[in-house]
Structures are given as structure tokens and as C-alpha cells.
Homo-oligomer: A and B are copies of this chain.
Amino acid sequence: MYETHFHKLKIKDLGIDSYGENIIFLKADSGVCISEGFTALTRVIVHKDNKRIIATINVVNSDIIANGEAGLSSEAMNRLVVRNGDEILISHLHPIESLSKVRAKVYGKELNESSYHEIIKDVVAGHYSNIEISAFVSACAGDNMTVNEIISLTKAMIAVGKKIKWPKSLILDKHCVGGLPGNRTTPIVVSIVAAAGLIIPKTSSRAITSPAGTADTMETMAPVNLSIDKIQKVVSEHGGCIAWGGAVMLSPADDLLIAVERALDIDSSGQMVASVLSKKVAAGSTHVVIDIPVGPTAKVRTHEEALKLQYYFKAVSEAIGIYVEVIITEGIQPVGRGIGPSLEAMDVLSVLQNKIDAPADLKERAITLSAALLVLSGKFAAGTELKAAQILLENGSAYEKFKSICIAQGGFKEPGLAKFRFDVIAENNGEVRAIDNRKLARIAKLAGAPKQPCAGVFFNAPVGKKIKKGDLLFSIYAELEAELEYAVKYFNSLNDLIDIR
């Protein structure tokens, strides 16, 4: 076959992070650019010994790189395993075969399983530019995938990831589709289920767009950055863990797709189902309960949408050979009282410690989900599971289990409260009719959550609560005065956060 010309260049480490994308920075007047006619957005193959990556050219007109040098984005340097001063070769890129499948999908055609395998393999290898990933994500957005395509995508994502192996055959897991501030049931559910003698190795995510992810919340009480070995050790000793999934790179395809999906703010039922289930398979889970909160400001807004997701989860999990139970729950308001890592951890602890003022909604949700897992395990008869879960929580077994897990993960500590506070007081009497979850989450984020783990919102006005003028509606906590001002300024610009009439 026809072999292209190679250009030899020396790596200059520019330290530029292009978020997953391979970028090569070449001097405009370099021999490469002139003789090859390379321009910006052109893609080339970069070689180092036997390794090769594909990178998008950014043309440089300044002296940050010299003639005979090439810069690479950090991700590209890692993928190619090169360092400052290393020699690389550049050659023309022949068309990437799987992109013709992406184009077919863009034109509205249904793709088969091998097409999804080819596409995902190339995405993970870094062969796609973000522009190309964007075309793929857009073509698969909304309801643009058939169930067969979702199954294919899920299988393809599983194929390129790791898989944690367990000595037992029954591995439980839970997942919440998200969108409800403060919905931090995971640490409680893991504790109850592990206390029941079952195995639940939970890997959770950090916040992406929300004020706290489960991993952020858990980190205010114990280390979550565990290796796979450590996860296996903690689980073998205690039956459960609550670790940060990002540390173990279970679904590398998902990370790259989600980055672009988030940048576009595009939802895709198919990609969401594939993302969740591929991670569950990677974690070695066999039986999974999925919580879909539904509400006007939650992620899933209508019951119909929730039913459709339920169908997808069921159909895909059957195809890939795991058991999934979907629970559709009410999602009209924040769960518990805290919004932000530390404030949510306090809610978790008060439920586990059976405090009198523990948030009843968080407790009830945790029991419901735990009970579903107990039934799914086949070790508890249907009808007995709710009572069983409640007992394990209320007799202190779950709390004991939680403390053991925390210690095994590296030590327990109490979550803290941020220095600065601003109280929002009711100006009128009435009843709370509705809450805008998204705006409340925004306030917590502006106050510093999740970067400042002790920042956030303490929420005291659930729907249905009778409010008297002067009552505390919520408090904003921040570590820095500027951030508190920030959040308060935003709050003052709103007039529809809490509907009290």
C-alpha cells in the first residue's frame, strides 16, 4: 500500500490541557505545514516508536515553539507516552473508517453492533476530535437510538473498559439517575445492605454540574480515592464500600462522551442507559436497583419519560445479562436538608445515627431502595424487605457497618460547616407550594460547593410546610466572604425560588 512521507520533530511540552482531545501545535512556517499543506483542524498521525495517535493541528505563529518542534496537548503526551525533547514523526492521516458509520448515523441510519464497537474503540483510542465526538453524540441524542442500538452501544462501552472480578456471584449495586439536590441515599443504602450480609461495592461519581456528588459527600467523612485492590480489600472485609469511580477508570468511553455531552448540554436516553449499565458491568455488579426521581425541575420531568427509561434499562440489562429493578420516585423537592458535600454528609449521619430530627424523606428513600436490593438479592422474601431494612437501620447495624467501611477506606472524620452564613427568612405567612431545585442547586454552587466541601445550602422549607413570617427558609454557607456575596447576590436576583402562598 501507499506509504506517506514522515516528518521528524522534537516535542516541546506546552502543558496545555484540551480536555481529552489530542492537539498538536505546529509552527505555521514549519516545513511540515508548508510542504504538507496542513492547516488548522487538519488531523495527522503522530508516531513515537511503535505507538501512534491521531491529533488535530493548531497552527502557531509565535515563538512558543521553534522550527523543528511540535507541542502536544497533555492528553496526547500521555497517550503517546512522550516527554519534552522526545523525537516524534508526523504523517498524513488516512480516513478513519468508523467515521463513515458516524456519518451514516448523522444521516439518520440505524447502526449495527459492530459499527458501535468500531466507533467506541476509536473514541477511546483518541482517534476522534471533539468535533467528531460532537457529531456522534448529537446523532445519538434525545430519542435517536433504537433499543438495539442502545444495547450495541452498551456492549461496545463494556468491551473497552475494565471489569472488577469478585469471588461471589451476587454483587448488588444502586444508581440514581439524578437531578435532585441532597438526594444522598447511597452511604445509607450501602450500609444497610452490607449490614444484611450482602455484597455492595459502590463506586460513585463526583459532582459534574451539581453542588455535590456522592463521592464528594463521602469524602467529607472518609477517603474515596481507592485503587481497585483497595476496593476489593474493603469489600471482602465489610461487604461494601463507597469509592470514587473516577479513580479506577471503569468506563473510559463514557468519560470522553460525557465531556462533550455536557459541553453541549444534550440529553440522550440511549447514552445515559449505556453509560450507567456499562459502569455497573465494569464494577462487576449482577443485581442493580435504579432510582428515577421524577419532577418538574428534576432530571426526568415526566412520568412517561421515566417509563421509557425504565423500559430501556430493563431491555438493555437483559441483553447484557444483569438484573435491574427500576424504582420511579417523586422528585419535586430537595431530599434532606443539606445541599453541598458536608451538609449532605450531616444528613446522612443523622439518619444513620437515628437522630430525632433526622430528615424523614432521606430515611424513607434509603429504606425503600435498600429494601428493593434485599428482595432483588433473593435472600429476603417479598413483603419482609421493608421491615428488614428499617430494622437494620434503626438498630444501629447500618451505622456500625458505615463506620467500619469508613475506617477500612482510611479513617472516619466528622463533616464540617463553613465559616460564613447568610439566613433567608420568610417575609410572609403561608404554605410552601413549590421549589425550583435547579436554582437552589445554583445557589449552593455559587457559595462554593463542591470545591469548598463545607459550603452549600441548609434547606428548611420543604413543600407542604406551613411557614410563618420570620421563619428560617434556608441558610447559605460559604468558606469565603466573596463567595457568600456571590450566592446572596444571585438569590436576590430571583423571585421564584420558593412559592409560598
Binding site for B on A (CB under 8 A): 1-3, 5, 13-20, 25, 28, 35, 37, 39-41, 58-64, 73-74, 95, 99, 103, 106-108, 129-135, 137-139, 141-144, 259-260, 262-266, 451, 480, 482-483, 486, 489-490, 492-493
Residue in B138, B262, B482 whose CB lies within 8 Å of A135: B138
Chain A to chain B contacts (Cβ below 8 Å), 14 pairs: A5-B486, A14-B60, A15-B63, A16-B62, A17-B28, A18-B40, A35-B482, A41-B259, A41-B263, A131-B133, A132-B134, A135-B138, A135-B264, A138-B138
**Distance in Å from the Cβ of A245 to the closest Cβ of chain B?**
18
CB pair A3–B489 under 8 Å, yes or no, is: yes
Given contacts A134-B131, A134-B134, A264-B132, contact A5 B64 (CB under 8 A): no
User: For A132, what are the chain B residues with a Cβ–Cβ distance below 8 Å?
Assistant: 134, 263-264
Which 6 residue pairs of A and B lie closest in terms of their CB atoms, listed nearest first?
A15-B62, A19-B40, A2-B493, A107-B142, A15-B61, A134-B134
Q: How many angstroms from the CA of A144 to the CA of B139 in the assembled complex?
A: 11
- Which B residues are CB-close (under 8 A) to A134? 130-132, 134-135, 138
B14 touches A62 (CB 8 A): yes
Q: In whole angstroms, what is the CA distance A417 to B5 when docked? A: 24
A229 smallest CB distance to B (angstroms): 29
Assuming the contacts A106-B141, A490-B2, asked whether A39 and B19 have C-beta atoms less than 8 A apart, the reply is yes
Measured between beta carbons, the chain B residues less than 8 angstroms from A18 are: 40, 58
With contacts A37-B451, A139-B138 taken as known, whether A482 is within 8 angstroms of B61 at the C-beta atoms is: no
Residues of B within 8 A of A129 (CB): 263
* Assembled-state Cα–Cα distance A61/B77 (Å): 13
Contact across chains for B131 and A264 when beta carbons are under 8 A apart: yes
Q: Considering the chains assembled together, what is the distance between the CA atoms of A63 and B399 in angstroms?
A: 49
Distance A139 CA – B139 CA, assembled complex (angstroms): 7
Given contacts A131-B264, A264-B103, A482-B5, contact A64 B139 (CB under 8 A): no
A108: B residues at CB distance < 8 A: 142-144
User: Is the CB–CB distance between B138 and A106 below 8 Å?
Assistant: yes
The answer to whether A16 and B260 have CB atoms under 8 Å apart is no
Looking across the interface, which residue of chain B has its beta carbon closest to that of A491? B2
Name the one of B35, B133, B266, B493 contacting A103, with C-beta atoms under 8 angstroms.
Answer: B266
A25 touches B19 (CB 8 A): no
B residues less than 8 Å from A266 (CB atoms) = 103, 106, 135
> A392 to nearest B CB, angstroms?
38
* Residue pair A131, B260 in contact (C-beta under 8 Å): yes
User: How many angstroms from the CA of A485 to the CA of B79 in the assembled complex?
Assistant: 33
| A73 vs B133: C-alpha distance when bound (angstroms) | 22
A59 and B108 CA atoms in complex are apart in Å by 36
Q: With both chains docked as a complex, state the minimum distance between the C-beta of A265 and any C-beta of chain B, in angstroms.
A: 7
